[in-house]
Amino acid sequence: MLGGDCYPASPLGINLPNADWIRKEVGSKSVTLANITNAYDEASKGNGFLEEFAAGPEEVARIKEYGTIADALHTDLHECVGHASGKLAAGTDPNALKNYASPLEEARADLFALYFMMDKKIIDLGLLPAREAAEAEYDAYIRNGLLTQIVRIKPGKDIEQAHMRCRSTIAHWVYEKGKSGNVIEFISRDGKTCVMIRDYGKLRTLFGELLKEIQRIKSEGDFEAGKKLVEDYGVKVDPMLHTEILERYAKLNLAPYAGFVNPYLFPVYDGNGKITDIVVEYTDDYLAQMMYYGKNYSFLPVR
């Protein structure tokens, strides 16, 4: 059952608490909502999105085989270890990064996951079946950060949301820093812009370098460096590329966000008024559910 800010769009994972001093003193608790991730994956099958924006059939096949487990591990590492790792240097103001703290913290957790999921130890531990699974996550992350997440942005607007700024910052930074080694390449497939990772090993090294720098920024409270990183790589959208991506996305007739409706739970009573069962009924009508909640559970008078 979903409610509050988690309804109808649910998070994939939760790390509580995120406050540095609480993590330092008593640790944190993490939860992964694997059923939510699975539902998203099942709903997206056959919608044409992957085939439209992936660089080629090999990338599509890799995502279909490993995408679900790789994405789940990325979320787990992000929430359970990424957010929970690192320390502030003595005397550092925990609020020093101000409005850039959130995208930088999300980037730090994402980079931790991206860097370590490519490690051989992950396979040795049985957390991933093969290196190709990590490559599938690298494909998806870079494609999202450089191309597909901007379908959620209106023409002429900047990226504002913290997680989207995080992904844009990471993807554009590693693309620029890897240009000399052709680590990531923009290619044209049938006249459509796509991105292809040419060297996964070098990309992992770049993830590590950026992780090191963002950890330094956070630990030292280096506001100016954090601001420059996000503003240079995480905010602006290429207008020509944006137009192309929006046009291609519109042809798929997909919504940029997905959400969920709750089941209805109705108790069954015996002759003594004791609950003997719960009947579960499902709906696919979000508007009707909102009206139902408003009628039956509103704190305000219904006229």
DSSP assignment of 147-164 equals TGGGGGSPTTPPP-SHHH
The answer to whether residue 283 sits within a structural domain is yes
Residue-level pLDDT at 302: 64
Name which of 166, 132, 142, 112 is nearest 61 in CA terms: 132
The answer to whether residue 90 sits within a structural domain is yes
- Residue 33 and residue 30: Cα distance in Å, rounded? 10
Name the 3-class secondary structure at 242: helix
**Which parts of the chain register pLDDT below 50?**
none
Same domain, 215 and 77: yes
What DSSP string describes 62-84?
HHHHHHHHHHHHHHHIIIIIITT
The answer to whether residue 111 sits within a structural domain is yes
- In which domain, by residue range, is 288 found? 264-297
Same domain, 98 and 35: yes
Residue-level pLDDT at 43: 85
Same domain, 125 and 243: yes
Same domain, 289 and 174: no
The answer to whether residue 189 sits within a structural domain is yes
Sequence-distant (6+) residues with CB within 8 A of 266 are 278, 279, 281
pTM for the model: 0.85
The answer to whether residue 270 sits within a structural domain is yes
Same domain, 203 and 225: yes
- Residue 133 and residue 125: Cα distance in Å, rounded? 14
Percent of the chain scored above 90 by pLDDT? 76
Same domain, 244 and 276: no
pLDDT in tens, 2-43: 888 889 999 887 777 777 788 778 887 878 888 888 888 888
Assess contact for 122 and 91: CB atoms under 8 A: no
Same domain, 285 and 177: no
Same domain, 270 and 186: no
The answer to whether residue 207 sits within a structural domain is yes
- Residue 216 and residue 195: Cα distance in Å, rounded? 30
Name the 3-class secondary structure at 119: coil
Sequence-distant (6+) residues with CB within 8 A of 143 are 53, 54, 55, 194, 195
